[in-house]
Amino acid sequence: MKIPYNKVHVRGQILFAARGGAIHTFNLTDGAHISSWKHPDVDKVADSIKAINEAKAEAALEAEANTPATESDGPPAKRQKLGGENESALVTAGAGASTPTAAQDDKPRSGHFDGRGKKGKGKAGKDIDNGKTRFARVPDRPVITHLTTSSDGSHLLAVSGHDKVVWVFKHDGNGQIEELSQRTMPKRPSAVAIGPDSQIICADKFGDVYALPLVIPADGSKTSASLSALPMPTKKAFKPTANPLTVHSKGNRIALLNQIKQAELLNEFKDAAAADGPGFELNLLLGHVSMLTALVIGEQEGRKYILTADRDEHIRVSRYIPHAHIIENFCFGHKEFISDMVIPPSNKDILVSGGGDEYIFVWDWLAGKQLFKTSVLSLAQEIAPETTAVAVSSIYTLTYPSEDGPLTYILAICEDIKAIFSWKLLENNELHCPGIIQLPGKPLSLAISPSSDDAAPTIIAAIDPDAETKAQSLHAFRLTINHGRLAVDVETSFQGKAVEANESDISEEEVRSLLYTVESLRKVVTNAEFEEAGSEAPQANTDSDMAADTGDTEE
């Protein structure tokens, strides 16, 4: 099978679609393919797989050629004992039998240390040990994990997860992209956003949030002197209170010299650590004690905030740069991991979040209050009755034009559920009119093309198609409203067959390991932990478990 599209993003009439380690651009008007960009490791992986397949084929031919022919007649050959008193050897008597030559005796065994620091290896890069052939390791397959653009669409931001690199491209507005920079982060990014001040806000899997400039200045200068929210205190150089003039005994003089040498070694270690750091501007803003999973930037009353969510069910509201170390509030109520959250443009006072819980939550995020929740598990069970738990992978918002004014809808997709779930956001911040749009495959990512000239918006879905349906991985649906619920009006396609033909084959197991990672965030309670917890073992979520107002609670 071919690796499916796994991330999509829309800016204007241009669709950015990531497929493994490649980024493709399409025209939304006619679905035409415009341009492509490939991660440098894409060709490395393809070349490695090709070389290994060729080596395997060669090894199979060699093994077949070296297999002795089975004698069809006659009894097995007898073995004779040769040599004197101190040495003996068993050889097979009969035609073709011979004793090992001196050259054969001196030849090192395959895999044996030959004094040159390495095991003997063949020209094909193979190592045969105990009759088994081992091949070189295939490099990690590159996958673009995040795609977003600046507010004016002039820059495209992408993240490749396997090498922790943040890529920035220049976009001409017509689908042509040009690579500007690549920066390797200290840890693997888990969520990114572009701030209003052209700063990349990047959260990683170790719980830290960093800021780095979207565009690196040509002269290499810093963009701002006040970006860092957590400045590191500067310590004075170590200076002992004693000196050779005040120390007289031999033992004390030796102790003083040891203190001075220890201080010098410590300074050298700090200098080496600083030299090994990133070679670009990077400012630490805030940190969690858990893996970060989602990040959005909010604004109320002219003040900006950074909202972060983690695997430990926390949503934190922090001030924006340069005061990101100040925590305004928390939103408590989730009982499982949080995977995504969104602030609807029509109502910037609320936040919608979801993850491993069976509910979608609505919050007054600045006050830290839960306003509403609705079940997504019940919707999933309508199309897959055997479902007992859901893992919400992404949440989106769209605006639908109507005679009574614009309507706001919330969309959600879940891992391994072949549908898009939707709800209508009412003025009282409640979610009603649940809808289900079934798909010919499992959705991996959605992008919303906004409505224009009072036309209905369009959903672009990147799906992992079923093998029996042979559907395309990119689908576009123009929407309509049926009794307040979103439904599909017209389905369109993209001209990407030539792009798909150039993709290398990949196994279904590898696709799952690369693209289905949300459910793995769920914490598994072992039997020992369950017995230790006793009556306090985790129970299923119920409506009565959670108050509408969580109040002020410490993390």
pTM for the model: 0.76
Q: Does 99 score more than 90 pLDDT?
A: no
Name the band, by pLDDT with cuts 50, 70 and 90, for residue 321: very high
Give the rounded percent of residues in the chain with a pLDDT score beyond 70: 76
Q: Does 237 score more than 70 pLDDT?
A: no
Q: Does 467 score more than 70 pLDDT?
A: yes
Q: For residue range 265-319, what is the model confidence (pLDDT) as tens digits?
A: 777 766 665 555 678 899 999 999 999 999 999 999 999 999 999 999 999 999 9
Among 124-133, 135-144, 414-423, which is the least confidently predicted range? 124-133
**What local confidence, expressed as pLDDT, does residue 527 receive?**
60
**What local confidence, expressed as pLDDT, does residue 70 receive?**
54
Give the rounded percent of residues in the chain with a pLDDT score beyond 90: 58
**What local confidence, expressed as pLDDT, does residue 547 receive?**
38
The domains of the chain, with CATH numbers, are 5-48+136-228+277-521 (2.130.10.10)
Q: Does 534 score more than 60 pLDDT?
A: no
Q: Does 162 score more than 50 pLDDT?
A: yes
Q: Does 257 score more than 70 pLDDT?
A: yes
Q: Residue 438: which of 410, 457, 466 has the closest Cα?
A: 466
Q: For residue range 169-227, what is the model confidence (pLDDT) as tens digits?
A: 999 999 999 999 999 999 999 999 999 999 999 999 999 999 999 999 877 666 553 45
Instruction: Considering only residues 547 and 70, tell me which one the structure prediction assigns the higher pLDDT.
Output: 70
Mean pLDDT of 508-537: 78
Q: Does 88 score more than 50 pLDDT?
A: no
C-beta separation of 313 from 334 below 8 A: yes
Q: Does 404 score more than 50 pLDDT?
A: yes
Residues 382-395, buried b or exposed e (16+ Cβ, 10 A)? eeeeebeebbbbbb
- Report the length, in residues, of the chain: 555
Q: How far is CA 47 from CA 26, 354, 371, 480, in A?
A: 28, 40, 54, 47
Q: How far is CA 505 from CA 198, 318, 473, in A?
A: 38, 44, 15
